[in-house]
Amino acid sequence: MKRLYIIICAALFLGAAILFMYWLNQDRGAPDFFEDPWHNLLVLRALDPIHYGGADTGEVLDTIRGIRAGDNQRWFKAWDQTARRVEALAERLHDPVSKGKAYLRSHNYYRTAEFMLPPEDKRRPECFQKSVETFRLGLRWLGVKHEFIDVPYGSNRLKATYYPGPAGAEDKPLLIIGGGLDSTQEELYFLLGAAARERGYSVLTYSGPGQGAVLREQCLTFIHEWEKPLGAVLNTYLARYAKPRRIVLIGVSMGGYLAPRAAAFEDRVDGVIAFDALFDLRECIERIIKSIPYNHPYYRWSVAYSEWVFGVREKEELLETIGAYNLKEVAQRITCDVLILAGENDFFTPLNQAEDLKRSLTNARSITTRIYTSETGGDRHCQVGYRGLCYGDLFDWIAEKFSP
């Protein structure tokens, strides 16, 4: 009897093992490119520009093949090779649309390659400059109307780009779009600029201290009083162009702090969008430091990059500096219409910050909140991978609040 029992148990175990191996080897889809959420987010970010000619699915998938999460040198090499190959393709093409879109894709791949390099890496300047050059060539060959603007800022210059809308754009608000901790002004064209132009809006993108070329070429680091750079951008724009009927200010990622902060002191702003909401930067950074192992590539990158863009030398100084990036004391000054976007699984900004911001907007003309979940999609940082979803909510809100 005992022998029979052993045979039965062995048979059951063997059967379970066979079923498990069968299940394991099934060909099924997976939602992520990497198990590591940080690297997966970066791939989705590289794919997002596909809406407006800034990426190709096959090029992205070929690039990430064989990259191991955390191998930043391999990451740079793979994306840099793809960027150079697509740039060479653009140079030999004759059709202006194909040529322009190839340049835009090359720009995106150069940006993605530079992203993971250490701040002091000697390859950064050339890679960033190539990303800017190919972006500008793409706009030129595609015939996208634009004007590059140098904005006086003390003894320095901020960077802005104006994209005039089609006929009738003067009846719609001007959309001013700013990025966050690690975005570039060129990336903002794909993120929102092209979508806004497609819908008949004029667009002004800009880079302030700590961002893009302003950081890399002039070594200007972030300041928490974001009304100062925004005011300089607005002054320069209004000295060149007629005052728009309305102005809507959009802040992306850490811009979810920067834009509301500026709107609290800038009465020329009629509406502000926190995309996503960021109420307290120190809470975000401390959350990352506490929840991610020291040897995790995102931990190392976020600390090194943050020290660079904030102009500090060590983690303790960083935490002290970013303590000023908090809307608690200024949110009540905001009197315009406010749209708050947030994702429930945003690993950078905890969801409670959207509610903290909403609760503090005691004098806003109106407050609208959109929380994206795993069921709706768009639950990750800045709704990456779900552009169509957040575009629908964002542009419907603008039309509802600011239609002629």
List pLDDT tens digits, range 92-136. 999 999 999 999 999 999 999 999 999 999 999 999 999 999 999
pLDDT at 307: 94
- The torsion angle over the Cα atoms of residues 211, 212, 216 and 217, rounded to 10 degrees, is -110
pLDDT at 6: 62
> 151 near 232, Cβ under 8 Å?
yes
Give mean pLDDT, residues 3-15. Answer: 58
Domain ranges of the chain: 37-115, 145-280+325-402
What are the distances in angstroms from CA 201 to CA 121, 160, 198?
A: 39, 17, 7
Give mean pLDDT, residues 340-367. Answer: 96
pLDDT at 252: 97
CA atoms within 13 A on the CB side of 110: 26
How far is it, in rounded angstroms, from Cα 346 to Cα 28?
A: 26
Share of the chain above pLDDT 90, in %: 81
List pLDDT tens digits, range 144-156. 999 999 999 999 9
Mean pLDDT of the chain: 92
Give mean pLDDT, residues 68-74. Answer: 88
Q: What is the DSSP letter of 311?
A: T
- Helix (H) or strand (E) holding 370, with range, is strand 366-372
More confident residue, 40 or 225: 225
Query: 278 falls in which pLDDT band (50, 70, 90)?
Result: very high
Which of helix, strand or coil describes residue 165? coil
> 151 near 158, Cβ under 8 Å?
yes
Give mean pLDDT, residues 251-255. Answer: 97
Looking up tokens 């811009």 gives: 255
How far is it, in rounded angstroms, from Cα 389 to Cα 143?
A: 28
**Direct distance between the N- and C-terminal alpha carbons of the chain, in angstroms, rounded to an integer:** 87
CATH architecture of 145-280+325-402: 3-Layer(aba) Sandwich (3.40)
DSSP β-bridge partners for residue 368: 339
